[in-house]
């Protein structure tokens, strides 16, 4: 396997609307987080429409198909390039010869490709045709030409050609919700009854031989949001040798809102990885159409047991330039009514108040969001609190949040990078490889998001020897670091991303 070493990292640099400073740092222009300056570049992905074809039978039986999809803009013809590689089926032998591109017509979001299997006389067993979306050859200008699309995350699709003389050893996988309900945990800062909460459980099962490991991929949908309503789930599960089922546990996260019960839907999907030609089953699987998805319900937690106020913005440790407006937000909960009026303080100095009028009185325990804007915050350290009165007349005070306002003109953020993991290797099926990691950091205020543009060069080819990355990264508000994870790719096999 190839090794991507320091020659690659030494050639990774950051650029922007400014000059390069000493030490490899760059004074970047702070960009309004509400303004998207990225070019409107189309992204192309592919999926399998008809996943199986036979060498024999009528035309319908002998055809498998793929669908190429693009994002906006869509007002022009878009040529999309592809190749067949990494599979066991050979173009021109096991299926008809095809051109290496397809055009998505202007005004359309997708185009379909039909592929006809060829009935040969060889006894070879079932074979896989693996299609990969290829990046176009683009002129290095900014913004790039409209036809210079990005390759999406789902860049590989595959179909199975069944041999009329062979015997299939492909596993059939299914998914069920074996524990179809769970409940939110207690939200941070909101007291509630401590109780044992059982997670929801998806069970992914396979039939057939269990002599080899098998990785199965999933996508998630539903009304619940990952990372907000439940802990994010793995995008794949791995069956060990001899293992027939794998469990995925869904743990609901607490929030401050009274809402309807929410759902998590897990759907099995095809593996967007290369076929393993050393295995009889190709390292692939078929999906049981009757058990291809399952649903878990996350039940909302009852109202909290005590009254509280919590400042949600700004975050503790935030640095703000003097003269910039500071937005303060707090969530108030009263188990016997509603805290409809809040006063915000810096130390003992009142800096604003919020009062919300309801046509219908809020239900007891309903969280109420308050917001004020502090426009003339003096320079220095500030200890923020929010204060209110509950339905019984008792005072309620939030926990303290410390922030800093800096005087004078804040310098442009200085963005730099350092290598955390300097080497990685090309990936190959069934081999786990540690990725390389680069950390970008910024100085100055962190109260706003910051977008930074990058350029890649070196002896390793972008998008070929290592996975193509976005040419910009965004520092979230409140954060002064962000990491880039780099995976090498095999020249002949589609790289696999392990989590």
Q: What is the pLDDT of residue 20?
A: 34
Residue 79 lies in a domain: yes
- Strand-strand pairing, 52-54 and 156-162: parallel
**Domain enclosing residue 80, as ranges:** 43-162
- Give the domain-ending residue among 162, 195, 217: 162
User: Does 426 reside within a domain?
Assistant: yes
183 and 295 part of one domain = yes
Phi-psi bin for 456: left (phi > 0), alpha (psi -120 to 50), beta? beta
Give 413's DSSP letter. Answer: P
State the pLDDT at residue 188.
55
**Under a CB-based contact definition with an 8 Å cutoff, are residues 406 and 322 in contact?**
yes
In this structure, are 61 and 151 located in the same domain? Answer: yes
Decide: 319 and 445 in contact? Cβ < 8 Å. Answer: yes
423 and 336 housed in the same domain: no
CB 433 within 8 A of CB 496: no
Question: What's the mean pLDDT in 68-95?
Answer: 90
Nearest one of 106, 139, 119, 6 to 56, comparing CA atoms: 119
How far is residue 191 CA from its own chain's centroid? 31
DSSP-derived letter for residue 488 is: B
Q: How far apart are CA 162 and CA 168, in angstroms?
A: 8
pLDDT at 67: 95
* Average confidence (pLDDT) over 409-436: 70
Q: Across residues 213-225, what is the average pLDDT?
A: 89
> Do the domain assignments include residue 116?
yes
The answer on 330 and 233 residing in a single domain is no
Whether residue 35 is contained in a domain is answered as no
Q: Which CATH number fits the domain that encloses residue 331?
A: 2.60.40.10
Query: Residues 325, 255: one domain?
Result: no
Q: Which of 245, 276, 299 is the last residue of a domain?
A: 299
Asked if residue 182 lies in contact with residue 252, where contact means CB atoms within 8 angstroms, the answer is yes
pLDDT at 2: 42
List C-alpha distances in Å: 255 to 92, 115, 230, 252, 361: 57, 49, 10, 10, 22
Sign for the CA dihedral angle at 46, 49, 53, 59 comes to: negative
- Mean residue pLDDT across the chain: 78
Residue 431 has pLDDT above 70, yes or no: no
Query: Checking DSSP bridges between strand 181-183 and strand 214-221, what pairing results, if any?
Result: unpaired
CA atoms of 386 and 333, how far apart (whole Å): 12
Domains of the chain: total: 4
pLDDT confidence tier of residue 192, bands split at 50, 70 and 90? low
Nearest alpha carbon to residue 458 among 486, 430, 477: 486
Per-residue confidence band for 165, with pLDDT thresholds at 50, 70 and 90: low
Q: What is the DSSP code string of 245-283?
A: EEEEEE-B---S-----EEEEEEEE---S---TTSTTTT
Q: Are residues 186 and 270 in the same domain?
A: yes
Residue 39 three-state SS: coil
Q: Name beta bridge partners: 385.
A: 345
Exposed, middle or buried, 339 (CB in 10 Å: 0-12/13-18/19+)?
A: buried
Low-confidence winner among 189-198, 257-266, 340-349, 358-367 (lowest mean pLDDT): 189-198
Whether residue 491 is contained in a domain is answered as: no
**Which of the two residues, 143 and 324, has the higher pLDDT score?**
324
Would you call 259 exposed, middle or buried from its count of C-beta atoms within 10 A (0-12, 13-18, 19+)? exposed
Instruction: Give the pLDDT score at 9.
Output: 37
Domain boundary among 120, 140, 162: 162
Q: Which of 188-202, 238-252, 311-325, 424-438 has the highest mean pLDDT?
A: 238-252
pLDDT level of residue 106 (50, 70, 90 thresholds): very high
282 pLDDT above the threshold of 80: no
State pLDDT tens for residues 25-75. Answer: 434 444 444 444 455 689 999 999 888 888 777 778 889 999 999 998 889
Other Cβ atoms within 10 Å of 457 Cβ, number: 12
CA 139 to chain centre: 29
Helix (H) or strand (E) holding 220: strand 214-221
pLDDT of residue 29: 42
* 185 plus 252 within the same structural domain: yes
Question: Which pLDDT band, with edges at 50, 70 and 90, does 430 fall under?
Answer: very low
Could you tell me the CATH number of the domain that includes residue 52? 2.60.40.2030
State yes or no: pLDDT of 243 exceeds 80. Answer: yes
Is there a single domain that holds both residue 348 and residue 436? no
37 occurs within a structural domain:
no
Higher pLDDT, 372 or 454: 372
Res. 452: pLDDT tops 70: yes
- Name which residue leads in pLDDT, 336 or 428: 336
- The verdict on 427 and 343 lying in the same domain is no
Residue 133 shares a structural domain with residue 190:
no
The reply to whether 176 and 294 lie within a common domain is: yes
Query: Quick check: is 333 in a domain?
Result: yes
Side-chain-side CA neighbours of residue 132 (13 Å): 18
Is residue 429 scored above 90 in pLDDT? Answer: no
- Same structural domain, 69 and 113: yes
- Going from the C-alpha of 221 to that of each of 105, 265, 319, the distances in angstroms are 29, 5, 37
DSSP for 98-127 reads --SEEEE-TT-SEEEEEEEB---S-----E
Cα 134 from chain centre: 22
For residue 303, what pLDDT band results from cuts at 50, 70 and 90? low
């Amino acid at each position: 396997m190839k090794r991507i070493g320091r020659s690659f990292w030494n050639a990774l640099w950051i650029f922007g609307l400014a000059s390069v400073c000493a030490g490899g740092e760059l004074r970047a222009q702070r960009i309004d987080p509400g303004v998207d300056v990225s070019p409107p570049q189309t992204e192309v992905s592919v999926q399998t429409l008809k996943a199986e074809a036979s060498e024999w039978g009528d035309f319908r039986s002998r055809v498998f198909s793929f669908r190429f999809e693009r994002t906006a803009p869509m007002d022009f013809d878009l040529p999309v390039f592809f190749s067949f590689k990494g599979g066991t089926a050979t173009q021109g032998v096991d299926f008809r010869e095809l051109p290496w591109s397809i055009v998505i017509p202007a005004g359309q979001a997708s185009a379909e490709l039909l592929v006809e299997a060829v009935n040969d006389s060889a006894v070879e067993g079932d074979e896989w045709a693996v299609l990969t979306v290829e990046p176009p050859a683009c002129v290095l200008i900014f913004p790039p030409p409209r036809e210079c699309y990005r390759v999406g995350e789902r860049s590989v699709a595959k179909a199975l050609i069944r041999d009329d003389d062979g015997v299939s050893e492909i596993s059939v996988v299914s998914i069920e919700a074996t524990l179809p309900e769970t409940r939110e945990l207690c939200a941070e800062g909101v007291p509630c009854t401590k109780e044992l909460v059982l997670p929801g459980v998806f069970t992914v099962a396979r039939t057939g031989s269990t002599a080899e490991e098998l990785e199965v991929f999933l996508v998630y949908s539903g009304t619940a949001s990952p990372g907000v309503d439940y802990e994010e789930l793995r995008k794949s599960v791995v069956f060990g040798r001899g293992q027939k089922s794998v469990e995925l546990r869904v743990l609901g996260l607490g929030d401050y809102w009274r809402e309807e019960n929410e759902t998590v839907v897990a759907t099995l999907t095809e593996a967007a990885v290369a076929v393993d030609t050393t295995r009889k089953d190709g390292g692939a699987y078929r999906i049981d159409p009757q058990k291809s998805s399952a649903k878990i319900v996350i039940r909302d937690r009852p109202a909290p047991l005590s009254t509280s106020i919590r400042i949600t913005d700004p975050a503790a440790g935030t640095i703000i330039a003097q003269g910039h407006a500071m937005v303060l937000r707090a969530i108030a909960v009263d188990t016997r009514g509603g805290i409809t009026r809040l006063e915000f303080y810096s130390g003992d100095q009142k800096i604003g108040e919020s009062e919300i009028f309801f046509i219908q009185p809020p239900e007891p325990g309903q969280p109420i969001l308050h917001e004020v804007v502090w426009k003339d915050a003096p320079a220095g350290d500030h200890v923020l609190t929010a204060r209110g009165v509950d339905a019984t007349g008792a005072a309620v005070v939030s926990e303290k949040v410390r922030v800093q306002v800096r005087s004078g003109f804040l310098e442009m953020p200085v963005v730099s990078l350092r290598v955390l993991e300097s080497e990685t290797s090309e990936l190959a099926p069934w081999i786990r490889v540690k990725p390389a990691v680069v950390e970008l950091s910024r100085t100055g205020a962190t109260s706003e998001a910051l977008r930074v543009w990058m350029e890649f060069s070196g002896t390793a080819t972008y998008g070929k020897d290592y996975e193509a990355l976005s040419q910009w990264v965004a520092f979230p508000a409140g954060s002064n670091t962000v990491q880039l994870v780099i995976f090498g790719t095999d020249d002949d096999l589609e790289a696999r991303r392990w989590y």
